Amino acid sequence: MRLSNLITAIDAHACGQHGRVIIGGVVDVPGKTMFEKKVYLETHMDALRKRMLREPRGYPAACCNLILPPTHPEADAGFVIMEQTKYPPMSGSNTICVATVLLETGMIPKQEPETEFVLEAPAGLIRIQAAVANEKVTRVTFQNVPAFALYLDARVEVPDLGTVTVDVAYGGQFYVITEAAPLGLRLTPDEGRDLVRLGEMIKAATQEQLSIVHPENPEITGIGGTLFSGPPTHPDAALKNTVVLSTGTLTWERPASWTGILDRSPCGTGTCAKMAALHAKGQLPLHHDFPHEGILGTIFTGRLIGETRVGSHTAVIPMLSGQGWITGITQYVVDPDDPFPEGFTVGDMWGDMR
């Protein structure tokens, strides 16, 4: 058997959300910054993302991260995040998976009771504080990039739904945030199909009707996901949420092809975006814990530790905590005769993946 393109990866999850971490097989990627490396992967090496995330090696809810040498002198390691339809500049659950893998494999040495280091994401520097007990990483806390509200209580016209009130906020990527109850949703796993359908409809309408561009990086545009918010079911949580992430191309012409997945975790960057919107409305002060429940009942805990500015917007500095678990170590290869070296998608789960 002749095999090539051997990739070594460690599978992990953060409070339920899968995050594959590539630790071998790619030496480096051209680019002077991690954001430039992200763009290079997107435009010249997208076959790697497809191979790792599409069938038969991946599945719709999978995410992948590529560990790379850092470009910033303060960073200990860099990483680029790959999702089914995009390369987000930042992801909380993926950051937790990456930090856990780096520490548990010894790529970054562990120290008890706490290990501090810096990761470089495409969005910027991410400062990590990992709790370690009995040589196990028990919690990962990170300081995220500044988060801010772009729109508050905006009214979006959604076909078949009418007027929907939304916030749009940035927590490492942009989210459109809306209340679940007015749409008849309870944020339970059995509502998955309805959550995806409504989330994709709201996302498409928001992107058509509102301008969504990061004020300091015009290459960060558009909505990363739809965040539905509601009352908690976990006794320790302040609110509950679930985020819809696309696995296909949004188009009003082919609404049946709108296929997405729910973030299995409480969504790290979504939690930061929600905290920014709550703070802008005067509903979440600084230095208060914000335990945020996800669709599986797991919790990420956020906290706003300060204010700053992003362009003309008042912004907040969020911290987020959660735990990751390693689930497997795999070497992925490509057989020269494999008819699907970049994987494949089928419309029963994936929708339109153009």
Which residues carry out catalysis?
Answer: 91
Q: Nearest-CA neighbor of 79 among 57, 54, 101, 59?
A: 101
C-alpha distance across the termini of the chain, in Å: 33
DSSP string over 124-186: EEEEEEEEEETTEEEEEEEEPPPEEEEEEEEEEEETTTEEEEEEEEESSSEEEEEESGGGT--
Residue 92, CA distances (Å) to 7, 88, 116, 229 in order: 24, 11, 17, 18
Residue 93, CA distances (Å) to 81, 85, 264, 311, 322 in order: 10, 17, 10, 27, 8
Alpha carbons 317 and 113: distance in angstroms, whole number: 25
Q: In one letter, which amino acid is 277?
A: A
Structure tokens, 61:
């809810």
Any idea what DSSP says for residue 86?
A: -
Any idea what DSSP says for residue 256?
A: G
| Burial degree of 1 (CB within 10 A; 0-12, 13-18, 19+) | exposed
- Helix 46-53 to helix 34-44 angle, to the nearest 10 degrees? 80
Alpha carbons 220 and 226: distance in angstroms, whole number: 16
